[in-house]
Amino acid sequence: MVNSPSEEKKLGVIGAGAWGTAFSIHLARKGNRILLWVYEKELFEILRDFKENRLYLPGFVLPHEIEYTHDLEMVAEFSQDIVIATPSYALRNTIEKIAPFLKDKRILILTKGIEIDTLRLMNQVVAHTVGSDRFISVLSGPSFAKEVARGQFTSVVVASKDKDLSKYIQGLIHSDTFRVYTSEDIIGVELGGAMKNVMAIGAGIIEGLELGTNTKAAFITRALAEIKRLGKALGAKDNTFMGLSGVGDLVLTSYGSLSRNRKFGLELAKGRKSKEIIDSQNAVVEGYFTIKAAYIMSKRTSIDMPITEELYKIVYEDKDIRESISDITNRGLKEEDE
């Protein structure tokens, strides 16, 4: 059995983007002491001087329970439990630097994505890097950073192969405004969180082209079916995708005005090139990276993922968007469960 989280904890948060910062605020509200690892020197100085993340989460003064550091080893030494909130592409390189310090730490992963080179999910990347999956859990669900930072009601799911660990994390982070459910389907919970970023780009394209709500509803429904097909092939439970990390997160990210992936799709619909959009962004658009990984995965496993394939061609091969839409809508007749 893992220990009770009822007493004050020393928690390390690795990654000071919008989500890592908002989650640190949430943890501090629960009376924990937080040490937040900051990658950028400029951001570290801003946080030190103004107690506000003016680059990624402006408008929120961080409570005194949150301190900041450049030193990864200091985070590992300080913390009883570790929260990881780096971009997916930076996860492995970041964790490798402190892997020996993490073997006996409880780890909660907020990062959503699929590693392009290995096609591993984030929990698998951390387990491979640390050398054990014993204390690893993941969090997913419809949770915009700004709304969590404001203390607006949010509901998420925590998954781990170890039920006791999931319950421990649940107790650690649950509050009246942040409801936490548990799951043992770590693959399904992670995959739903990663793939909704891909599909939200398509939803943004549809909105940007003013194709209508019928089209968007049909798209989201078929996008969910595509995610479920991939999940089934990877061993996920089908009903996981009908929960918070599946349809819940997909709806939020596809319709929510705070969604970076949806905004990326809106910009694509204006005719801008994907690389130009990415280079102009301050925050990470995770779907941009996940599209490539998911496309490669679908080809290697022979899973039919037409939406992912067309989005990959739009984003990485500059395929004409309306041609992609035509190729999708003119596919052969099928049964709905195909």
Question: Which candidate, 119, 260, 252, 244, places its Cα nearest to that of 192?
Answer: 244
Tokens at 182, concatenated: 């548990």
Distance of alpha carbon 141 from alpha carbon 253, whole angstroms: 10
- Concerning whether 10 is annotated as a catalytic residue, the answer is no
In this structure, what are the phi and psi dihedrals at residue 95, rounded to the nearest 5 degrees? Answer: -70, -30
Q: Which of 20, 137, 28 is nearest to 85 (CA)?
A: 20
Measured in Å, how far apart are the chain's first and last C-alpha atoms?
43
Residue of 112, 196, 228, 313 marked catalytic? 196
Max CA-CA distance within the chain?
61
Q: Are the CB atoms for 311 and 321 separated by under 8 Å? A: no
Return the active site residues. Answer: 196
